């Protein structure tokens, strides 16, 4: 409690899906001095905005969650934007943090940084063994450059920065926009909306054969805050649940849990994305005691319930 009571933390992206859970976890830990820069006030792509941010709220720690993110479709349509926004935000923010002698920088990477054909489960040492899956490579590479910067700054300047790799997240408050969302909220929305609107089928991208790993957002927040408090090394760390499920099995589960009785149509003209995803989570447990607690069915149930209460047509 003392560690967090005496800390001053900037949480970029703190008003977003993951950010809200991280801020809530920080407050549970006793952190009272948290600043959440809003995009309309602080455009982190602009160096002047970052300088003004540090002047208005000099931090002891930065947890950098802000990112331009989305599912396969929006990644495929806007690769340049996804590359530039994520790269420029992270690089400038970390450099200014170093110049201002911020005590710790927590950089959040992505599972999209891993090579397309990575041996399962993904181990952190596999990060540089190939090129990422093409549909999200610009995003994944922009985020992976922050690992290079983090390690280089620690080596040359002694700057305390860490790099975490969360797997696919889901939970209440996720982005349910059909175009920009990831698979869990997209399928939940399709099923729930089809029931209400009387539709007899839903369409899902791809073949259903690829596998994914999913981490409940509150578990991810817990892991990030644990690492922010206890981890101080250059080595990247996976933050995940340590299991994989096929997209087809996931869709079948969501269909059952939402009560949708219609047909699932697979649009095989759309890309599958990376063939398999599952993280090795041993390092996180060893280094700072993180283990995911929420079972997939429980997390999906909470997410479905949230959507039904908050959906808009």
- Residue 161 domain flag: yes
- Residue 135 domain flag: yes
- Residue 263 domain flag: no
User: What pLDDT does 57 receive?
Assistant: 97
Determine contact, residues 239/113, Cβ cutoff 8 Å.
Answer: no
Q: Which domain holds residue 28?
A: 2-170+214-241+275-293
Three-state secondary structure readout of the chain: CHHHHCCEEEEECCCCHHHHHHHHHHHHCCCCEEECCCCCCCCCCCHHHHHHHHHHCCCCEEEECCCCCCCHHHHHHCHHHHHHHHHHHHHHHHHHHHHCCCCEEEEECCHHHCECCCCCCECHHHCCCCCECHHHHHHHHHHHHHHHHHHHHHHHHCCCEEEEEECEEECCCCCCCCCCCCHHHHHHHHHHHHHHHCCCEEEEECCCCCEECEEEHHHHHHHHHHHHHHCCCCCCEEECCCCCEEHHHHHHHHHHHHCCCCEEEEECCCCCCCCCCCECCHHHHHHHCCCCCCCHHHHHHHHHHHHHHHCCC
Measure CA of the first residue to CA of the last residue in the chain; give whole Å.
Answer: 43
User: What pLDDT does 312 receive?
Assistant: 63
- Residue 189 domain flag: no
The C-alpha atoms of residue 164 and residue 162 are separated, in whole angstroms, by 7
- Residue 313 domain flag: no
CATH code assigned at 229: 3.40.50.720
The C-alpha atoms of residue 177 and residue 93 are separated, in whole angstroms, by 29
The C-alpha atoms of residue 165 and residue 122 are separated, in whole angstroms, by 11
- Residue 160 domain flag: yes
- In the predicted model, residues of the chain with pLDDT beneath 70 are 312-313
Counted domains in the chain: 1
User: What pLDDT does 240 receive?
Assistant: 97
- Residue 51 domain flag: yes
Global pTM value: 0.94
User: What pLDDT does 69 receive?
Assistant: 83
Q: How many CB atoms lie within 10 A of CB 290?
A: 26
Determine contact, residues 291/282, Cβ cutoff 8 Å.
Answer: no
The set of catalytic residues is 139
- Residue 298 domain flag: no
The C-alpha atoms of residue 151 and residue 146 are separated, in whole angstroms, by 9
Would the CA dihedral through 14, 95, 92, 144 be positive or negative? negative
């Amino acid at each position: 409690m003392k560690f967090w009571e005496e800390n001053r933390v900037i949480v970029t992206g703190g008003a977003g899906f993951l950010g809200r859970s991280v801020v809530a976890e920080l407050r549970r830990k006793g952190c009272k001095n948290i600043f959440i820069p809003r995009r309309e006030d602080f455009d982190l792509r602009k160096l002047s905005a970052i300088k003004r941010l540090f002047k208005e709220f000099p931090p002891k720690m930065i947890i950098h969650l802000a990112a331009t993110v989305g599912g396969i479709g929006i990644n495929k349509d806007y690769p340049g934007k996804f590359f530039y926004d994520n790269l420029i935000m992270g690089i400038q923010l970390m450099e200014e943090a170093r110049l201002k002698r911020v005590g710790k920088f927590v950089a959040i990477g992505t599972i999209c940084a891993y090579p397309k054909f990575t041996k399962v489960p993904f181990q952190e040492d596999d990060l540089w063994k190939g090129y990422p899956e093409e549909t999200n490579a610009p995003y994944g590479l922009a985020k992976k450059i922050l690992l290079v910067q983090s390690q280089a700054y620690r080596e040359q300047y002694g700057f305390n920065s860490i790099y975490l790799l969360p797997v696919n997240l889901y939970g209440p408050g996720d982005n349910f926009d059909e175009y920009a969302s990831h698979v869990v909220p997209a399928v939940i929305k399709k099923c729930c909306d089809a029931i209400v609107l009387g539709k007899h089928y839903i369409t899902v991208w791809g073949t259903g054969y690829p596998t994914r790993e999913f981490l409940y957002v509150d578990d991810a927040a817990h892991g990030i805050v644990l690492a922010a408090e206890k981890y101080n090394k250059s080595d990247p760390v996976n933050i995940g649940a340590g299991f994989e499920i096929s997209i087809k099995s996931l869709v079948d589960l969501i269909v059952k849990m939402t009560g949708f009785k219609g047909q699932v149509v697979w649009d095989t003209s759309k890309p599958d994305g990376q063939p398999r995803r599952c993280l090795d989570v041993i390092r996180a447990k060893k280094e700072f005691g993180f283990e995911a607690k929420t079972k997939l069915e429980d997390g999906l149930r909470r997410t479905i319930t949230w959507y039904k209460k908050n959906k808009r047509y």
